[in-house]
Structures are given as C-alpha cells and as structure tokens.
Structure 1
Amino acid sequence: MPDDQHADTRDQIPTNLRLLLIMEEVARTGLPVSPASLSEALGLPKPTIHRLLTTAEAKGFLQRDVDGRSYGPGKRLRRLAANTLSSQRVRTERLMIMKALAEQVGETCNLAAPGRYGMVYLDRVETHWPLRIQLPVGTQVPFNCTASGKMYLSSLRADKLDRLISAIDLQRCTDQSLTDPNVLHDEISATRARGYATDDQEFMDGMAAICVAIKDNEQRLLTTLSIHAPVQRKTLADLEAQLGPLQNAARKLEKLAQD
C-alpha cells in the first residue's frame, strides 16, 4: 500500500515542515504540480497531500491551475518570494550592482518580476538627468507592450504562452503597442531568438527600453533587468549598444540570487 511504502519517509518529515516542503517543491518544479506528483516526490500519502494543499490554497499560498487538479504558486507565495529577494542584505548588494549599471550607461535601470496581470517593479535606480521617466517601485506594467513583459512571455512554454495571451487584455498604450496576438507571437519568437526584449515607444510615447532575463539555478526566469530612456536622449539602437553592460549586470544579479 502507498502508506506502507512511504511510512519510513513520512516519519522523518516533521509535521510542521510538510507544508513548507510542498511549497518548495511547487516552486522548484516551475510548473503546475499534481497531488500525485507531490506524493511521489515527498513520500507523503495522498490524503495528507490533499489536506495540506487545501489549506495552502485557502490561505492563498497556492492556487489551482486551469485544469482544476494541479497547483502552482499563489499570491502570498509570490509575495513571499519577492520579499525574500528584497531582504536588506540582498537588496543593498542588488542596488549597488544596479547603480553601477545606471552610471555606466547613463540611464535608469529597473528590476521587475511577473505578477498576475503584468510586470511589477521591484527596484529601480534613477539616472542623474533632469529629464527622466517616473515609474516608481510597485508600478505594474502590461506584458504585451513593455520590454520586461515581453522578456517574461518569451520564457513561457508554447501552451502556457497561448493561454496567457488569450486570457490577458492586450493593452494599447501607444500607437506602437502590440495588440494583435499573431504579431505579439512573432515578437516573442524574435525576443527568444535574440535573448533580449525591446520596447520602442510601445508602452509610453517618447520612451525606449531594452531588457534581459535574470534566471534561477535551473535557468528559469526569475526577474528581469531593464534600462530605459527618453528617445530624445537615446534611441532604441543606442540602448541596444548597451546590451553588454546590461547582460553583465544581470549575471551578477543572478549570482546574488542563487548564492
């Protein structure tokens, strides 16, 4: 019986750690996880897994996937991850890396993470120029017309990307915004191929941006790092010329996140 097979393993997991291990496994997998998969991975009986999943879902740490059976990170688990990334020591080192990048390229840089309805700014370092674009920490911006949003979309599996593009509002923020799903798919393919994303006045008239991914130790997108500028000062081509410093800073941030 399954309970007999896992009895020894189950006895080794303290009760107060079981829910934490479930959330850790869901986060590690990076895909919606079924109760059966969790039972097999953790060596816990299915009734226990179901009970803990129900509790985690009710409290907002996990949420059910569209299939109604699998589970992924919920709002509170995503917030926990963001707050962990923003712990004082990590944030101090992170801001030092971002400040060095901002000084090197002479423009504002920002760090963003995917939220449920768009990309959320976690941190930013401002340029010294009087003319700059104000997008404070906590700002949520659309997936379809920002460099960070398109970078995130390019990291998704084809089936998940299709579902997300079908479900979200493809906002028209400027005349350049990509609101046609087919055109957006083409742009995401191009983004994936070149390894960075762009925004040529798609989110805001007069603003250009370039973005790269910051990945976890399993090469999944964790956050994004962008630089943006008024086009009066730097065109998209000018920002693309700064791809090297941007990628170098992203690698340093990856190392910081993975340590």
Structure 2
Amino acid sequence: MSEKVNSVDRLINVIERIGEAKSPIAASDIIFESGIPKPTCHRLLQQLEEANYVQLDERGHFYPGSQMLSIALDVRLTNQHKLQRQAILHGLSRKLEETCGLALANDDPSPHMVYYDRIQTNWPLQIVIPVGFPTPLWASASGKLFLSTLTPPQLRRVLSKLELSQCAKNTIVDNQSLKKELNTIQRRGYSVDDEEFIDGMVAIALPLYDQFGHFMAALFCHCPKSRKSVTELENYLPILRIAQQSLEAVYQDMKLSADRKDD
C-alpha cells in the first residue's frame, strides 16, 4: 500500500510541476524540482502524454494536455465564469439561430471529442447530441480541428489508435485524405463537417487557445443541412470569431483569477 501511495504522490508531483509552470517545462527541470528518479519521472511523463494529460512542444518541453485542461475547467471555473461563458454561447446561438457549444478532446478509452457545453436552438427540427457524448476525431468539425493542432509525432500516435470507419456518406476514411484536410484546416484556421459525422448534418468549429497558444477547446455550431449549408455557416465566421475571442478572454480571466488566489 505504501508503495502505491508513493507512486500516486510522484504522479501528482509531476502534474503539479507542469501545471504550475508559466511556460512549457523540460523533463530535466521536472526531475530537478520534484526529486523523482530520472527513469521513474520519464516513465510517468510518457504515461501522462499517452493519456493526453500532458503534451510536448517543438522543443520537447511539457505543457498541460486537453485532459488536464478539462479537469482544470471543471474545477476552477467559478459560477461567474460559467455564466460569462454561457452568456457568450447563448448570444452566439441567438445570432446564428443554431446549436452552439464547446468540445474537448478526450483519450479514454480511445481518442475522441466530448461535448462539454452546448446551447440548443429552438427550431422544431434540430439535431440533439447530448453533453458528454463522444464524437469521432476524423469525422467531426471539432475533432478534425483538434487533430490539425497536433505536431506530426503526436498526430501519428493518435492516428495509430484510430480506425477511420464510415460514420456518414462523406466521412474521410483514409489517412492521406485526412492529412490533406488537416493541412487545409491549419491554413484557414477553422474546420467544417459536411455530412461526415451524421447524414444531413453540417458543422463548423473554431479553436480556443490558452495563453501559451496551445489548443484548449473547440467552439462549434451544427445544424441540419436542410436549413443551412456549409457555405452559409462560413458566412457567420466574423460572428464566430468574436465569440471565439470573447471565450478565450473568459478563460484568460479565469486563469488570472486562479493565479491571484494561489498567490
């Protein structure tokens, strides 16, 4: 039992070092600050990376992954920030007259996106995807958006865990076509789903980044194709980008408030 507790303590210590760092931190610094033996620390970091709790930047330094950010959002968002976030989503949904929300990446048991928050439209005809519902990375606007933010090594690891099955009539089911789509998403800064996840549904998604420029969540809007086409959703990009910036500002304020509380 004491050995198990010691392992948990070490894991928490590593997570704290990464979570408290003001910028991506090197493994050598984590080892020095935590006092954890080098082989053990590298093993813990590898496990955390595989579970998407931490990610690597281009220098090989560690920063919080989507799983850690998801927990941080759940734990640290105060009622005030929740109200601000929902007010932005309500306003966006009213302007677009469609369902809008946020999606987070999740790696348990396999990589997928999860609807974290959602404001449902009032149209009689609507597509209802509940909060917490897993959506495929390769076949959804938010999922493809997340994949487009990964480094080549990260993308290879994630794709190795996925079976690109056919979800709807336009689902991308081969790696080369998917990588071409991800390059397009990187270039234009947003992602679309044209009946790739569900037949008759279209969607658009924009990224939310933290203060270090790392992907935090996807802001999405989806609707029946009979009501709006992908092109019509793209016409709302100016409005979506205002909401994107507002939501990022809420997160920045939340992070600053939490830092002041910690101090």
Are 2:85 and 1:91 aligned? Answer: no
Mapped partners of 1:106, 1:188: distance in 2: 28
Mapped partners of 2:115, 2:188: distance in 1: 24
What does 1:19-168 correspond to in 2, within 5 Å? 22-27=14-19, 34=27, 36-40=28-32, 42=33, 44-47=34-37, 63-65=47-49, 77=68, 80-84=71-75, 87-116=78-107, 117-168=111-162
Q: Rate the CA distance shift 1:31–1:186 in 2: closer, same or farther, 3 A.
A: farther
Mapped partners of 2:221, 2:113: distance in 1: 15
Query: What is the aligned partner in structure 1 of residue 163 from structure 2?
Result: 169
Query: Contact conserved, 2:23 with 2:212, CA < 8 A, in 1?
Result: no
Query: What is the aligned partner in structure 1 of residue 204 from structure 2?
Result: 210
1:39 is matched by which residue type in structure 2? I
Give unpaired runs (5+ residues) of structure 2: 1-8, 51-55, 57-61, 254-263
Mapped partners of 2:156, 2:35: distance in 1: 34
Query: Contact conserved, 1:123 with 1:137, CA < 8 A, in 2?
Result: yes
Query: Contact conserved, 1:211 with 1:227, CA < 8 A, in 2?
Result: yes
Mapped partners of 2:149, 2:65: distance in 1: 19
Mapped partners of 2:67, 2:216: distance in 1: 16
Mapped partners of 2:153, 2:48: distance in 1: 17
Query: Contact conserved, 2:192 with 2:203, CA < 8 A, in 1?
Result: yes
What does 1:180-219 correspond to in 2, within 5 Å? 180-219=174-213
Q: Rate the CA distance shift 1:24–1:251 in 2: closer, same or farther, 3 A.
A: farther
SS at match of 1:63: helix
TM superposition score normalised by structure 2: 0.77
Mapped partners of 1:63, 1:82: distance in 2: 22
Are 2:224 and 1:234 aligned? Answer: no
Mapped partners of 2:212, 2:67: distance in 1: 22
Mapped partners of 1:132, 1:100: distance in 2: 18
Instruction: Give per-residue Cα distances to partners, 1:44-68, cap 9 Å, x unaligned.
Output: 4344x777898xx6xxx993446xx
The CA deviation at 1:93 is 1.1
1:144 is matched by which residue type in structure 2? W
The CA deviation at 1:170 is 1.6
The CA deviation at 1:165 is 1.2
Mapped partners of 1:174, 1:165: distance in 2: 19
Mapped partners of 1:76, 1:114: distance in 2: 7
Indicate the larger mover: 168-177 or 225-234: 168-177
Q: Rate the CA distance shift 1:62–1:82 in 2: closer, same or farther, 3 A.
A: farther
2:208 is matched by which residue type in structure 1? I
Query: What is the aligned partner in structure 1 of residue 53 from structure 2?
Result: none
Give unpaired runs (5+ residues) of structure 1: 1-16
Mapped partners of 2:166, 2:76: distance in 1: 31
The CA deviation at 1:158 is 1.3
Mapped partners of 1:217, 1:75: distance in 2: 14
Instruction: Give per-residue Cα distances to partners, 1:150-181, cap 9 Å, x unaligned.
Output: 11001101111122112212231012111100
Mapped partners of 1:151, 1:29: distance in 2: 25
SS at match of 2:220: strand
